C-alpha cells in the first residue's frame, strides 16, 4: 500500500512542484528583494549608530541584529509555510478526485499480501469509489484475506482504513499528506533557523 500511495504522492508532489515552482520563485525573489533592501537600510543605519555607540552599547547592537534576523527568518518561514500548505492542499484535492480505477488500484496495493480478517472503513469523500464486486474478486485471489465493508464512514476524510483486532492500516489521504507535510515543515524549520 505504502509503495502505491507513495508513488501517487510522488507524482502529485512532482505535479505540484511543477505548478508551484514558478510561484515559489516569484515569492522567493520578492522575499530576497525585501530582505536585501531591509538589510541594506538597517546595516547603513546600524553602521552610523555603531560608530557613535561602539564603546557604550555594543551589546545593544548585537541584540538589534538578532531581532532583525529573527524577524526576517519568521517572514521567510511564513512564506514557505503558506506555499507548503498550498502544495499539499492541491495534493489532497488530486487524491480526492482519483477515479474509481485509481482508487481501486490504491486499495489493491494496500491489501496486497495481507492475511486475516479486516473491517474496511471508507472516508466520507471516498464513499462509492470502491466497487464491491471488484473487492470480492480481489479477495478470492488473495487466499487468507477477508474484508468486511463497514457502512460507517470516516467524516471529512477521503481514502480508507483497514482494521483487524491488532492493527489499523491508515490510508486516509489527508493523514498521509499531513505526515508528508510535517516532514517538509521540519526540513524548512531546520533550513531557516539552522542554516540561515
pLDDT tens digits along 107-137: 888 888 888 899 999 999 988 888 888 888 8
Region 4-30: mean pLDDT is 69
In whole angstroms, what separates CA 123 from the centre of its chain? Answer: 19
147 pLDDT exceeds 80? yes
Round to whole Å and give the CA distance between 59 and 43: 16
Nearest CA-CA partner of 16 in 85, 109, 119: 85
Residues in CB range of 63: below 8 A, 6 or more apart: none
pLDDT tens digits along 52-99: 666 666 677 778 788 888 888 788 778 877 887 888 888 788 888 888
What pLDDT score does 153 carry?
92
Strand partners, 168: 163
Residues in CB range of 170: below 8 A, 6 or more apart: 161, 176
Q: Where are the domains of the chain?
A: 2-96+177-195, 100-165
pTM for the full predicted model:
0.54
What pLDDT score does 163 carry?
92
Amino acid at each position: 500500500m505504502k509503495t502505491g500511495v507513495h508513488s501517487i504522492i510522488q507524482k502529485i508532489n512532482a505535479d505540484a512542484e511543477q505548478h508551484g515552482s514558478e510561484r515559489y520563485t516569484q515569492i522567493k525573489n520578492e522575499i530576497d528583494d525585501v530582505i536585501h533592501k531591509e538589510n541594506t537600510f538597517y546595516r547603513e543605519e546600524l553602521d552610523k549608530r555603531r560608530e557613535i555607540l561602539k564603546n557604550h552599547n555594543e551589546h545593544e547592537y548585537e541584540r538589534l541584529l538578532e531581532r532583525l534576523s529573527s524577524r526576517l527568518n519568521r517572514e521567510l518561514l511564513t512564506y514557505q509555510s503558506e506555499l507548503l500548505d498550498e502544495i499539499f492542499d492541491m495534493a489532497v484535492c488530486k487524491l480526492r478526485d482519483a477515479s474509481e480505477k485509481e482508487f481501486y488500484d490504491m486499495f489493491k496495493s494496500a491489501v496486497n499480501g495481507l492475511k486475516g480478517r479486516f473491517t474496511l472503513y471508507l472516508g466520507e469523500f471516498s464513499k462509492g469509489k470502491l466497487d464491491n464486486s471488484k473487492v470480492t474478486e480481489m479477495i478470492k485471489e488473495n487466499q487468507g484475506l477477508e474484508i468486511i465493508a463497514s457502512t460507517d464512514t470516516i467524516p471529512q476524510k477521503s481514502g480508507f482504513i483497514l482494521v483487524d483486532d491488532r492493527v489499523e492500516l491508515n490510508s486516509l489521504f489527508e493523514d498521509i499528506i499531513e505526515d508528508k507535510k510535517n516532514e517538509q515543515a521540519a526540513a524548512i524549520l531546520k533550513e531557516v533557523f539552522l542554516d540561515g
